Amino acid sequence: MSRRKILFTAFFLFSTAHTALSEPYFDQKERGWFWYEPLPRQEEETRHESRGGRRLTVKEIRERGERLFEAALLSPTKENVRTYMEHQKRVLERSEEFARVWKRVLWESPALDSTVDNPVSAAGAEISRNLRKTVREGVIEKISRVGKLVFFFRSDCPFCRGQAEIIKTLERRHGIGVLAASLDGTGLHPLYPHFVNGAAQAARLGVRRVPALFLFVPSQRKIVRIGTGYLTLGEIRRRLHAVGEEVLGEGQEKDKELFTLGGEGK
């Protein structure tokens, strides 16, 4: 987390301006625009901060800031504005100390630091992207060895024709099998002229719109919907990776009913 973000987080905890504007004064309609609440004397404020030697709570700091802000806003004398500025300066100093300790805790506690796994620098981010890509490619390669894609389409669907080109690219690059399932008894020439009649199976799977894409793993007796509608190549890869652990993992959906697609057309 950057120093600016840490400062903002800490300052937000102690911030007084927003709460001062939103609720304490303007929501109290019995007060007029020229209502003036006398500013407590400095020695009274000092005693208020001490509270018997204990530290003030965030709520007490915010409430004091609200009073000082209202006084400075409604009666902007040098004394009132200076008092409010001094209060804000103390809050900012506490925020900076909070930010400094926050950073030290992050350095010493890698489990709390999100930048360990997701670097923010350009070079680190590039390495992280390459690592994620390698993992994703590995999952897709495993899927291609044990499963196949089921592609539901209609021959008169323009989106299905565009999707067919994407799926053919995926098939060529990763060697994953594709089972083309037509809902109107006609293939998609020239990419998928051979097909199976998939109307009955589409009804079983709740396919009402096409194109629709499923991942089918016969050995695991699993079938998982990848998506409906036109999907880009990158999106299909991301979704295959996302469902990879579910489909290839142990102890999940063992009783998923195996469906068969019959009636292969010419």
* Token couple for 15: 């911030």
Strand order in the sheet with 222-228: 222-228, 212-217, 148-153, 177-182, 195-197, 264-265
Note whether 67 and 22 are same-domain residues. Answer: yes
Domain end point (choices 70, 98, 114): 114
Averaged pLDDT in 10-residue chunks for the chain of 266 residues: 54 47 46 45 49 76 94 94 94 92 88 80 79 80 88 95 95 91 92 92 93 90 91 92 73 42 43
Kindly state whether residues 68 and 162 are assigned to the same domain: no
pLDDT digit string, tens, across residues 190-234: 999 999 999 999 999 999 999 999 999 888 788 899 999 999 999
Q: How far apart are CA 195 and CA 55, in angstroms?
A: 75
Tokens of 156: 């008169």
Range(s) of the domain holding residue 69: 3-114
* Residue 85 shares a structural domain with residue 171: no
Alpha carbon distance 80, 151 (integer Å): 72
Q: Are residues 154 and 77 in the same domain?
A: no
Tokens of 230: 């036109």
CA torsion, ordered 121, 124, 130, 135, to nearest 10 deg: -110
In terms of pTM, does the model score above 0.75?
A: no
Task: Please indicate, yes or no, if residue 225 is contained in any of the structural domains.
Answer: yes
- Count: domains in the chain: 2
Q: What is the CATH number of the domain that holds 185?
A: 3.40.30.10
First and final CA of the chain: distance in angstroms? 59
Q: Let me know whether 22 and 87 are in one domain.
A: yes
Is 119 inside any structural domain?
no
Q: Verify that 107 and 194 share a domain, yes or no.
A: no
Pair (109, 187) in one structural domain: no
Do residues 143 and 215 lie in contact, with contact meaning Cβ atoms separated by under 8 Å? yes
